[in-house]
Amino acid sequence: MTSYLYVLSIGPVQDFIAAARRTRDLWFGSHLLSEISKAAAKKIRDEGGQLIFPSSEKPEKDLAPSDDRDAFNVANIILAEFEVQDGENIKKLDGDAKKAATDRWKEYADKAKKEAARVIDEKIWDEQVGDVIEVSSAWVPFKKESYASDRVQLMRLLAARKSIRNFEQPKGNHTGIDKSSLDGARETVLKKDRDIEGGQFPKDLALRMRRSKGEQLCAVGVTKRLGGGRVPFPSVVRVALDPWIRGVQRDENGKKILDEIGSLCSGETSFSSGTGGTLYQDFPYDGQVLFGSHLPVLMEAARELADIPPFKNDGEKLTRIKALVNELQKSGYGEPNPYFAILVADGDQMGKAISRIDDPVYHRNFSARLSEFAKSARDIVEKEHRGCVVYSGGDDVLAFLPVDTCIAAARKLHDKFGEILKDYPKKGEPSPTLSVGIAIGHIRDPLEDLRTYGKAAEEHAKEPDRNGLALHLHTRSGGDPIRLRDRWQEEDKKGLDERMKAWIRMYLDDTFPDKAAYELQQLAEVYRGWENPPDPDHIRKDVERLLARKRPGEGTSAIQDNDKKNLEAEAQSYDDLCRLAKELLMARRIAESHRQAAGKSLPGRTQP
């Protein structure tokens, strides 16, 4: 018997995850790739392979097919060890694993094709479905005492194999066919309206697919929209709304009105979708009807769909909802804050940490700890901080969170990661750390842009010395985003998250003038470009004078002495002043969501 180390890579990730216009596209794309990878991992295990990555304590349960939103996630790289008699056996095992992955993809695609058959160009569909999955693999004989070097050789072989493309006969040349609206990479599989029976795209199918007028989709796009049945996923609107909903529900009358709106959103409607599973059960709908400024658009859409039986009364429902929303706004709740947070977390230098592992058992246990973190991350985001996880696998997390809970969630994720992996560095090696990027964006920004914001924040968190927290704020008013970054500190060491907590509290206590942050920015400009660094004492005195100018109507209480000292201590140079001003501007925006969670309206905010 010969021991082999085996690796399988499934892609392309771009097609399955990145190409997305809606939150469900994003979630189901990552879920779909995970399920395809899971099918291969299950086949490897069933054929006698010992999985190293992923690793699970309950493989029978975790590797079973599932469309639950919280199903076990499997990354697109699978590492395993086999004991076989000869090289031919490993080739057969490799073929079986690849077939399991391809078959799982075709299961989803076939179900979507069946549901959308009346609008699908079958020739283009079949060409695309057979050409989507890219599976690469490699294997090497190995000995346990040379595990580390054998694994390095294995990954080099995989990289070489992935760089080589199989030459196949070109598919049909489809001239004059529109490209997919998601990414423009493939032709649309949707027929032109004139070629569809009835001369137009069926309204009921368009609604099920959440298809915008004129939107074109390739086979992957259609499968994302229709695959997995009708498992819903919370929209970014519902995430942004959460602080406002919590605030309304603090009042008995407000809760009663919100409950009535919820009853009008229940069932099959043209203007509302569910949140899925156990998320947001206090108001389990996407909630776009709660933005009064958006109701006219929904009412117009309802009129166009009134000939479809389930939606014939939607116009009346929306009229009643409009009256109820107006009643809430007149009660002092105002328009909801239309911002939410995209959180992207990633383990630091994990490749280097794994490269130091010299034993497959140790590696398997390390992988099991990463799986434990992935499960904990879902609980932290969803149960403790009212967010929703798009993807949580190994050391990667992508999640959406309300603005008022995002920093606390980031701190908890960072600390949990360190806690779970604290025993796994070998003697004398540093413990793995987690960098977290948070981007705050507007619900009307394109999802592709929002994902880019989140990724940029995560990359910022890692530079220059990793183990960082980055906060970025993108406003609809334009201009450059506010960008903040600091290394994680212990909770009592005044790191970025602790400073933000203090500044937010000042705004909530109404002890800090709203204009003071802008005035600090202006003060910083006074010191820009000085040939010699200004005296820190001069800067401190300027800040002290600025804070002493308390104006009526800009806070009902004086700034507390301790807060003054903290502010002055943070302003010792031009760079310090710029950073402090940005922290205060960011804190002001986050405090708005805290106010709404407390049942208070936002002055001057009438529309998103």
Alpha carbon 46 to chain centroid distance?
33
**Average pLDDT of the residues in 149-158:** 96
User: Under a CB-based contact definition with an 8 Å cutoff, are residues 495 and 431 in contact?
Assistant: no
Q: Please state, as a whole number, how many other Cβ atoms lie within 10 Å of the Cβ of residue 141.
A: 11
Summarised one tens digit per residue, pLDDT across range 43-86 is: 999 999 999 999 998 999 999 999 888 899 999 999 999 998 87
Helix locations, 267-340, DSSP H? 295-304, 314-328
pLDDT of residue 585: 95
Q: Measured between alpha carbons, how far is 186 from 106 in angstroms, rounded to an integer?
A: 18
In 3D, which of 354, 355, 358 has the Cα closest to residue 367?
354
Class at the top of the CATH hierarchy for domain 2-162: alpha beta
| Residue 168 clears pLDDT 80, i.e. is over it | no
For the chain, the average pLDDT equals 90
Residue type, position 33, single letter: L
Q: Which residues pair with 398 in a beta bridge?
A: 344, 391
What is residue 389's DSSP assignment? E
pLDDT of residue 85: 80
| Residue 552 clears pLDDT 70, i.e. is over it | no
Domain edges within the chain: 2-162, 236-333, 337-488, 495-608
The percent of residues in the chain predicted with pLDDT above 90, rounded, is: 63
Provide the token pair at 279. Answer: 């998320």
pLDDT of residue 230: 72
| Residue 174 clears pLDDT 80, i.e. is over it | no
Alpha carbon 193 to chain centroid distance?
34
| Range with lowest mean pLDDT among 139-143, 283-287, 480-484, 562-566 | 562-566
pLDDT of residue 276: 74
- Extended beta strands in 54-116, E state: 77-84
pLDDT of residue 551: 55
Q: Please state, as a whole number, how many other Cβ atoms lie within 10 Å of the Cβ of residue 86.
A: 9
Q: Measured between alpha carbons, how far is 500 from 587 in angstroms, rounded to an integer?
A: 6
| Residue 557 clears pLDDT 80, i.e. is over it | no
Helix axis angle for 447-462 and 23-46, nearest 10°, is: 60
| Angstrom distances, CA of residue 546 to CA of 521, 522, 524, 560 | 12, 11, 12, 14
**Average pLDDT of the residues in 86-98:** 90
pLDDT of residue 605: 44
Provide the token pair at 325. Answer: 């929303």
Summarised one tens digit per residue, pLDDT across range 367-415 is: 999 999 999 999 999 999 999 999 998 899 999 999 999 999 999 999 9
Summarised one tens digit per residue, pLDDT across range 272-315 is: 988 877 899 999 999 999 998 899 999 999 998 898 888 999 99
Q: Measured between alpha carbons, how far is 608 from 600 in angstroms, rounded to an integer?
A: 17
**Average pLDDT of the residues in 206-210:** 86
pLDDT of residue 170: 57
Summarised one tens digit per residue, pLDDT across range 100-135 is: 999 999 999 999 999 999 999 999 999 999 888 999
pLDDT of residue 195: 87
Q: Measured between alpha carbons, how far is 352 from 286 in angstroms, rounded to an integer?
A: 42
pLDDT of residue 427: 67
Q: pTM of the full predicted structure? A: 0.92
pLDDT of residue 534: 84
Q: Measured between alpha carbons, how far is 487 from 468 in angstroms, rounded to an integer?
A: 4
* Total residue count of the chain as it appears in this document: 608
Q: Per-residue confidence at 532, pLDDT binned at 50, 70, 90?
A: confident
Secondary structure of residue 278 in the 3-state scheme: coil
HSE at residue 60, side-chain half, CA atoms within 13 A, is: 0
Q: Measured between alpha carbons, how far is 325 from 208 in angstroms, rounded to an integer?
A: 27
pLDDT of residue 602: 58
What is residue 167's DSSP assignment? P
CATH number for 337-488 (one of 3.30.2010.30, 3.30.70.270, 3.40.50.300, 3.40.50.720): it is 3.30.70.270
Helix axis angle for 295-304 and 314-328, nearest 10°, is: 170
Provide the token pair at 234. Answer: 């919370």
Residue type, position 594, single letter: H
Query: Is the Cα torsion angle 518, 522, 523, 529 positive or negative in sign?
Result: positive
Rg of the chain over CA atoms, in angstroms?
27
In 3D, which of 505, 469, 465, 471 has the Cα closest to residue 489?
469
